[in-house]
A and B are shown apart, each in its own frame.
Chain A
Amino acid sequence: MTTDTLASANGGAGTVLPAPILQTQKLSKQFPGVLALDQVDFELRAGEVHVLFGENGAGKSTLIQILAGVHRPTEGRVLFRGQPVELQGVHQARTLGISAVFQEFSLVPTLTVEENLFLGAELTRHGWLDKAALHRRAGDILKQLGFPLRPQQRVQNLSRAEQQMVEIAKAFRTDLSVLILDEPTASLTDREAQRLFAMVEQAKKRGVGVVYITHRMSEIRHIGDRITVLRDGKRVATLEVAEVDDERLLQLMTGRVISQVFPKIAYRPGRQLLKISELTTADRSVKDFSLELRAGEVVGLAGLVGCGKSEVGRACFGVERVVSGRIMFDGQDVTGKPVREMLNRGVFYLPPDRREEGLVMMRSVRENVSLPWLALFSRFGILDRGGERSKVRELARRLNLQPPNTERDLERFSGGNQQKVLLAKGLVTTLKLFILDEPTVGVDVGTRVAIYEFIRDLCEGGAGVLLISSDLPEILHLTNRTYVMYRGEVRAELEGEQITQDRVLANFFERTA
């Protein structure tokens, strides 16, 4: 199963494998409170695409951040072309030819494409900026990669996909030997993704080793050579892509068989709870969208990042501005009603990014959980802090918060426990509709299971759940009905047995006629 056995087997047959260009030995990384990487051995050969696979929090990001020089390992070492190296920073890694394209871009929006390409490595003549040379070389790099960008465009005017191209082009600025790509297709259209794959192929031919993080099975098949699965900071396996099927990968990733991860939810649809008709939002991220949801139902909303699925949920919660169409909740028109009123009517929206929009990180669990419902804990304008405390403690017990200290500030909890706190905000009082936007992003398997059980309990208790998710297994195994969105419109509505990976995925991307 491991490369060691593979290599020796092949070595015995006389074929010489390409030497590893980059290697880690017993690499560990300790962050305050978490062991993010635990004795990981990893190797990357020249001219291969090595996929890193694992759940959020499995250690993929930490590994590539060490390889790219962002973090330094607590233990273990990194070998570059057989020599131990101590990467002191991104810049040093880049001079060795190791470049990473992270999901969070490191671009200065107010500068142009060419200025960004050479940021920190400006071309100079006698100490002065050599703008002509810079312009020329930037143009060369872009042409070579086939990116349709003009060197003098300002980065802030580019689309996300175009910005990503700039990031990638930046990697090709120096002589590249290792390219690290962190979910590069997450924000790309199908056509752009194809161009990216072609570029990766080209890099491979030039002997570049590519570390590639993705969650998409189809992509692994398409461009991967080998795959390393990480779970809870440990390397679980390294396999040849050709030898492994999806079921097995998923099992390696979660450490359990699927049936243990996803609970069975009894399907007893009740009265109509939510009806969206021909909804169009002000920013046109949602166009003519219609959806129905009954009590006791889990309805999925799937699609690529930026397809408008998140905006549908936000519109139902009064966050996104609606220009036409209607949203009916529980038989009443609630189009454009403010957040406060939607909460009072019994709708809860769980935002996808807990740090950004979900939680007040420097305040306590208690204050966060009760925040939307302080009116319930208020008598004659004075807060009933005792009642508040006991309610929040009760919820913390129910969700098994670790540590169970509700006075601790959120900053000091793990991602999974932060997510539990976010969920707890929706449990203070009985609600009817839960709009969950990427509810399991960045949590460990244990919390993931807890969240799924929570969805089951809500649903079987008669609430409706709108599950907005980019996580395919989640959509496949939890939803009774699923809408697949593409560029703001409904592409397909699938029900029960129809919800299969192929059918959902087929509607994710642009159709090639």
Chain B
Amino acid sequence: MYRWLIFTVPLQRLFVRIGVLPFLLVIALIVFTALSRRFLTSDNLLTVARQATYLAIVAMGQMLALLTGGFDLSVGKIVAITSVITALAMAPLAAAHPDATAITLTLGILAGIGAGTMVGVVNGVGVAVFNVSPFMMTLGTATISFGIALTLTSGVPVYGIPDAFGTIFSFGRIFDVPSPVYITAGLFVAMHILLNWTRMGRYFYAVGGNIKASHLSGISTRFYLFMAYVLCGALASIAGVLLTARLETGEANIGASMPLDSIAACVIGGVSLRGGIGRLGNVVLGAIFIGLIQNGMDLAQIQSYLQEVVIGVLLILAVIADQFRQFVMLRLKD
């Protein structure tokens, strides 16, 4: 079937080892550099980095759900409800105590992350305890969260957030690098340790790889399934807080493209939809890739509706490329 694609063997080995993503990144860099002179500038690349942080954080959470063999369709609405709750908590506090900004921010952030994580808890209980399929469970909580967010705000943005919130968590720069990038880097390090150096991380892979074998190895599979959704919810809500800082308002209508984009970032990064396989670094690269594509198309003045088409096509191509990789891997074996 793939006979028309003749690879040299070293290139095949490289392809099998690193996957399709680095190739895509290189191609994207070349294409967009050719299309726009502004693309390959440090300013623009920093913009890409900041834009990609939100997706990168959500994708890291999504990765946990995917590793355990499920997925989380509610991440977008978790972002939304976090944004609304954060703003709703901050606005009256800021109005009542204009000087206590630190406390206002802390409480607001905690409220937002708490609300978002709660959605993750509900997802986790549904999937791990009641064996509801992740698809139905997270679709259900997505609708519920969205409904709550709309009800709380009547669909209008929530104003009254202290300026310091945006200054610190979105526009602040250290050594020219925007603050969300540092936060994302910190989360990346924490997730890296979790996945590679703790039992919990190892168990996420094992439970997704073979839940029965994990059970017979004495692992509390329910608990780790539950934790995957809780952590996914927590990460999505951190992204929600950062996006709120960026927008400086609480919005119920943000995050709509997050479920698809985060799953796309993971899949492009080589996470298996059947669970058990995936590398954190590649997931973040996947998110950066999607950010890069969007940014590049913006610069190349491709309209945003068409961008959706491109992202969809790329996602499918990445999956096909991964199938092809399996095929090459099997053939290289003999």
Task: Determine if B214 is an interface residue (Cβ-Cβ < 8 Å).
Answer: yes
> Which of A339, A367, A382, A412 is close to B197, meaning CB atoms less than 8 Å apart?
A382
Contacts of A334 in B (CB 8 A): none
Is B205 in contact with A412, judged by CB distance below 8 angstroms?
A: no
> Which of B196, B212, B214, B220 is close to A356, meaning CB atoms less than 8 Å apart?
B212
Is B218 in contact with A372, judged by CB distance below 8 angstroms?
A: yes
Is A371 in contact with B333, judged by CB distance below 8 angstroms?
A: no
**Interface of chain B residues 184 through 230 with chain A (CB within 8 A):** 193, 196-199, 202-203, 205-206, 209-210, 212-220
A385: nearest residue on chain B (CB-CB)?
A: B197
Task: Determine if A47 is an interface residue (Cβ-Cβ < 8 Å).
Answer: no
For the complex, would chain B's binding face be called helix, strand, loop or mixed by DSSP majority?
Answer: helix
Complex CA gap A357/B331 in Å reads: 28
Complex CA gap A99/B219 in Å reads: 44
Is B330 in contact with A32, judged by CB distance below 8 angstroms?
A: yes
> Which of A319, A342, A351, A371 is close to B214, meaning CB atoms less than 8 Å apart?
A371
Task: Determine if A383 is an interface residue (Cβ-Cβ < 8 Å).
Answer: yes
Segment from A59-67, A192-200, A233-241, A373-381 that makes contact with B = A373-381
For the complex, would chain A's binding face be called helix, strand, loop or mixed by DSSP majority?
Answer: mixed
Is B334 in contact with A30, judged by CB distance below 8 angstroms?
A: yes
Contacts of A30 in B (CB 8 A): 334
Is B272 in contact with A371, judged by CB distance below 8 angstroms?
A: no
B198, B205, B213, B334 pick with most chain A CB within 10 angstroms = B213
Complex CA gap A33/B214 in Å reads: 28
A355: nearest residue on chain B (CB-CB)?
A: B210
Number of interface residues of B (CB under 8 A): 27
Contacts of B203 in A (CB 8 A): 374
CB distance from A362 to the nearest CB of B (A): 5
Number of interface residues of A (CB under 8 A): 33
Contacts of B240 in A (CB 8 A): none
Task: Determine if A306 is an interface residue (Cβ-Cβ < 8 Å).
Answer: no
Is A381 in contact with B333, judged by CB distance below 8 angstroms?
A: no
Is A357 in contact with B205, judged by CB distance below 8 angstroms?
A: no
Is A340 in contact with B205, judged by CB distance below 8 angstroms?
A: no
Task: Determine if B269 is an interface residue (Cβ-Cβ < 8 Å).
Answer: no
**Interface of chain A residues 353 through 369 with chain B (CB within 8 A):** 356-363, 367
> Which of B213, B276, B330 is close to A358, meaning CB atoms less than 8 Å apart?
B213
Task: Determine if B183 is an interface residue (Cβ-Cβ < 8 Å).
Answer: no
Is A32 in contact with B333, judged by CB distance below 8 angstroms?
A: yes
> Which of B214, B216, B272, B330 is close to A362, meaning CB atoms less than 8 Å apart?
B272
Task: Determine if A349 is an interface residue (Cβ-Cβ < 8 Å).
Answer: yes
**Interface of chain B residues 148 through 202 with chain A (CB within 8 A):** 193, 196-199, 202
B215: nearest residue on chain A (CB-CB)?
A: A339
Where the two chains meet, the residues of A that have a C-beta atom closer than 8 Å to any C-beta of B are 30, 32-33, 317, 319, 338-340, 342-344, 349, 351, 356-363, 367, 371-372, 374-375, 378, 381-383, 385, 412, 425
Sorted nearest first, the 10 A-B pairs with minimum C-beta distance are: A360-B209, A340-B218, A372-B217, A357-B212, A371-B217, A360-B210, A343-B218, A339-B218, A32-B334, A374-B199
